[in-house]
């Protein structure tokens, strides 16, 4: 099983919607998917589950969320649950449900990260908590892939999530904020990767848990272009979009040999342009299903049927290219 994180330092780009739709598309292609909602805002869980279900999961004394599964380790009375609770969304999609309470773990995760350097046992248990949770969920659900959604910051929760990930996909928009986001995210990923390798060497011999490799290998970027972005003048859009290939190579791939970067059309690092699906998005939210599965019974009329088909094809191609990149190693 491979784990892919979707990550950028800029919020509101459509990242969570992207993870939601990709999960359904991979499932449509008969892959088994675990989705880990590691953003304490839990928007992804809100897309998968009815509010009532979510409310029940959050209220249970024995919480059936990600935080519930790791809580014994953080309250100091045990380790993470060996059988994390997986909310079955469909035959092939299992959700590790997000939880606002996860934000309370930030400080401990941050402190234990340093303590790994002292070879502290609990520090490794805590720092590898998400990776271990994902590994056991993947096994239990017999998943082929785990997709990880995180919030748009560079804090300890996200570091722990990225260490758990074999690959990372970076959604971005052609604007100043996304370019700046790349300049933050790229070097941060490089630092986390190196720092984790240093820590792995300090693992106490007596500690019998598997640690993740922390590869977080960049698979590429996805250009998001919904309405907020498209409403800006075309010139500004072109200005920013033309800067993406070089910035990605420099900041994320650390290529600084002075070689020139291709134009975005010829860039091997772009995985897709995702368009604005306009009215399909609110309809999908209303119908509790992905945009590409909307039917006339959900209110799709006339030209929207074409848009639904196009949307299906867009996500089909994106899922395919992601799998290809993974196969290439």
Write the binding mask 142 to 171 for ligand ADP: x where contact by CB under 6 A, - elsewhere: ------------------------------
Site residues (CB under 6 A) for ligand ADP, limited to 62-81: none
Residue 17 partner contact from ligand ADP, Mg ion, none using kind-dependent CB cut-offs of 5 to 8 Å: ligand ADP
The three-state secondary structure class of 241 is: helix
Q: Cite the beta strand spans of the chain per DSSP E.
A: 2-6, 33-37, 87-90, 93-96, 145-149, 167-172, 217-224, 270-274
| CB-nearest residue to Mg ion | 16
3-state secondary structure 190-229: HHHHHHHHHHHCCCCCCCCCCCCCCCCEEEEEEEECCHHH
Count of residues that bind ligand ADP according to CB under 6 A = 13
Q: What is the dihedral of CA 179, 182, 183, 189, to 10 degrees?
A: 180
Write the binding mask 41 to 60 for Mg ion: x where contact by CB under 5 A, - elsewhere: --x-----------------
Q: Can you tell me which residue has the tokens 């017999």?
A: 142
Q: Can you tell me which residue has the tokens 């609990």?
A: 122
Is 178 an interacting residue with respect to Mg ion (CB under 5 A)? no
Is 17 an interacting residue with respect to Mg ion (CB under 5 A)? no
End-to-end CA distance of the chain: 13
Give the pairing type, strands 93-96 and 33-37: parallel
Stretch in the footprint of Mg ion (CB under 5 A) among 10-18, 167-175, 244-252, 291-299: 10-18
Q: Which member of 9, 15, 165, 319 binds ligand ADP (CB under 6 A)?
A: 15
Is 7 an interacting residue with respect to ligand ADP (CB under 6 A)? no
Pick the closer one to ligand ADP by CB: 11 or 187.
11
Write the binding mask 196 to 235 for ligand ADP: x where contact by CB under 6 A, - elsewhere: ------------------------------x---------
């Amino acid at each position: 099983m491979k784990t892919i994180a979707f990550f950028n330092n800029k919020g509101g780009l459509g990242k969570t919607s992207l993870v939601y739709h990709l999960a359904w598309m991979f499932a449509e292609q008969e892959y088994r998917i675990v989705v880990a909602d590691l953003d304490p805002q839990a928007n992804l869980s809100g897309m998968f589950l009815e509010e009532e279900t979510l409310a029940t999961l959050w209220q249970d004394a024995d919480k059936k969320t990600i935080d519930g599964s790791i809580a014994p380790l953080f309250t100091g009375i045990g380790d993470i649950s060996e059988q994390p609770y997986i909310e079955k969304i469909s035959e092939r999609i299992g959700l590790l449900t997000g939880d606002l309470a996860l934000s309370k773990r930030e400080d401990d995760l941050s402190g234990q990260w340093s303590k790994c350097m002292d070879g502290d046992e609990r520090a490794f248990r805590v720092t590898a908590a998400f990776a271990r949770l994902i590994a056991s969920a993947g096994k239990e659900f017999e998943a082929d892939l785990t997709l990880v959604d995180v919030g748009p910051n560079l804090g300890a929760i996200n570091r722990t999530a990225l260490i758990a990930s074999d690959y990372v996909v970076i959604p971005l928009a052609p604007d100043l904020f996304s370019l700046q986001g790349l300049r933050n995210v790229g070097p941060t990923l490089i630092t986390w990767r190196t720092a984790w390798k240093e820590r792995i060497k300090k693992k106490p011999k007596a500690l019998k848990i598997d640690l993740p490799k922390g590869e977080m290998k960049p698979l590429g970027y996805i250009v998001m272009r919904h309405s907020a972005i498209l409403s800006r003048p075309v010139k500004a859009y072109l200005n920013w979009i033309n800067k993406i290939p070089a910035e990605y190579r420099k900041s994320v791939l650390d290529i600084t040999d002075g070689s020139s970067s291709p134009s975005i059309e010829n860039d091997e690092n772009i995985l897709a342009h995702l368009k604005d699906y306009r009215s399909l998005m609110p309809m999908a939210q209303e119908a509790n299903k992905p945009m590409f599965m909307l039917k006339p019974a959900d209110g799709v009329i006339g030209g929207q049927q074409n848009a639904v088909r196009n949307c299906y094809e867009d996500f089909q191609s994106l899922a395919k290219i992601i799998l290809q990149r993974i196969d290439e190693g």
